[in-house]
Amino acid sequence: MRIQKSQRNGNTGLKGNRALSTHERLLWRENEELTASPNREILEQLYVKHVMSPLLGPKHVDVGIRVHVTKEFLKSVEKNVTFYRPAWRVDSSQVDVNRDSVLILSDHSIFPNRNLKDEPCITVEIKPKCGFLPISRFIAEENAVKKTVVRFRMHQALKLLNQEISEYSKYNPLDFFSGSREGIQKAIEALYATPQNNFRVFLNGSIVFGSLGGGADSTTALVGEAFEDTLKNVIRADNGQRTASFIQLVAETIYASGALDQLLEVQKLDTHDIEGAIHAYYNITSQPCMVCRELSKGKLSCRYTSLQSIPLDERLKIVKEYLIAATAKDCSLMISFRPQEDGRLPSHNTVYLGSTDQVFEY
């Protein structure tokens, strides 16, 4: 059950009774169902259905089912979940009890149509983040670091400065999206070593690695031993070898599935970077550009003039694709596995794990 949050400062993100502003309706005008949405809740689901699902592939996206709820129900949820949320999240946001519906999604921590008694199911959840370095000509010289240091690493530096984490993550999204077995393997190993809130594992629907909240900064020897033991009914390997085999299984599956190619393609719809897209945004909304106001005339004329003169349709395309890319940069990837039993015909894709001589459905 996916429930909307609101900020503690009183901002719920709602725009009166309208789901979209005038400019937003202009932006999404090609989709009548989207622009006719009566409220924000329905709009969000239709955005996934009509915009993200076709781009990422319907088999990779769960649109969900919307159901109505009461204020009393949402208050009871808030009361029950507060204990399980990290303190910093509790301080910043709460369940939005003024919503009238929630989204029901399939539980992707268990294998579809599986019998709990028959076979174990292990699921990994990864937040891959932005997988490319921008090359936009609109990036200012003083921000050139963006072209050489991936966005995730810069956020890590900021989180460390703000004491939200105690150490840098070893994970680099460029490895994950590299398209090579070795790069993906390196990325999974790094996520396992420093999971933070970017890597979790479930066994038969229950979390066994990572946390439901902010996540551990790094994996201790004790946590590693417990996880190794957890894998004994899934990975047929000697003690001390199971975790390495599991990481190999995840890496091989991601490589074989090709799902990341599609995800990266959607992320790369952001061709102008925020430093270019912001000018198109101000043009569409007919507001004075706050960025241009702060730039010298020399910098302004040589870099941004081209964005001032393009047709409205092109400006709308820049902003729309920037927003779609932002969604793709912030998604979660979940993969469920179950060992393929002898004699049973696979009902899903399969992957072979050479180190243990096992076949897994995923």
Give the model's pLDDT for residue 309: 82
**Residue 64: pLDDT over 50:** yes
Going by C-beta distance under 8 Å and a sequence separation of 6 or more, which residues neighbour residue 199? Answer: 124, 125, 126, 127, 171, 191, 192, 209, 210, 215
Average pLDDT, the chain: 89
Segment 154-161 shows an average pLDDT of 95
Residue 114 vs residue 328, higher pLDDT = 328
Choose the CATH number for 5-104 among 3.40.50.1580, 3.30.980.20, 3.30.200.110, 3.40.50.1820: 3.30.200.110
Amino acid code (one letter) for 49: K
Give the model's pLDDT for residue 93: 87
Give the model's pLDDT for residue 243: 97
**Residue 310: pLDDT over 70:** yes
Block residue for tokens 């590299």: 178
**Residue 308: pLDDT over 80:** no
* Confidence grade of residue 218 (pLDDT, cut at 50, 70, 90): confident
Considering the chain, tell me which residue range(s) the CATH 3.30.200.110 domain(s) occupy.
5-104
Segment 157-182 shows an average pLDDT of 94
CA distance 190 to 24: 39
**Residue 276: pLDDT over 90:** yes
Length of the chain equals 362
Q: Which of the residue ranges 46-60, 104-118, 283-297 has the most confident prediction, judged by mean pLDDT?
A: 46-60
Q: Where are the alpha helices (DSSP H) in the chain?
A: 22-27, 32-35, 40-47, 53-56, 71-81, 87-92, 151-161, 173-176, 181-193, 221-230, 242-257, 259-267, 273-285, 290-294, 297-303, 305-309, 312-328
* Confidence grade of residue 301 (pLDDT, cut at 50, 70, 90): low
Segment 185-202 shows an average pLDDT of 95
* Confidence grade of residue 15 (pLDDT, cut at 50, 70, 90): very low
Block residue for tokens 């292990």: 122
Give the model's pLDDT for residue 290: 78
Q: Among 37-51, 160-174, 242-256, which is the least confidently predicted range?
A: 37-51
Residues 245-268 have pLDDT tens digits of: 999 999 999 999 988 999 999 999
Give the model's pLDDT for residue 112: 77
Q: Give the distance from CA 104 to its chain's centroid.
A: 18
